[in-house]
Amino acid sequence: MENKEEFFMSELSELDVQNLRHLIGGSETCHAKFTAYAEQATDTQVKQYFQQAAQSAKENKQQLMGFLK
């Protein structure tokens, strides 16, 4: 199996790019929602959980964006 760094956008099909855009959009939505939930949370543990989830969604988006370079 090839390493993900070896992929280039020119090797992606149109369907691959559409799927990546869909996943990136989903990650953006998750980041926004988890951030909003964290801001509204009053319990420290719940707030921390949503902050970590928001950070994870942000990192996931960045990782997915790497395939479009």
pLDDT in tens, 37-66: 999 999 999 999 999 999 999 999 999 998
Looking at residues 7-26, what average pLDDT do you find?
85
Return the domain boundaries, the chain.
1-23+41-69
> Does 35 or 68 have the greater pLDDT score?
35
* CA dihedral sign, ordered 32, 15, 1, 7: negative
pTM of the shown model: 0.80
Q: What is the dihedral of CA 27, 12, 15, 33, to 10 degrees?
A: 0
Looking at residues 21-26, what average pLDDT do you find?
96
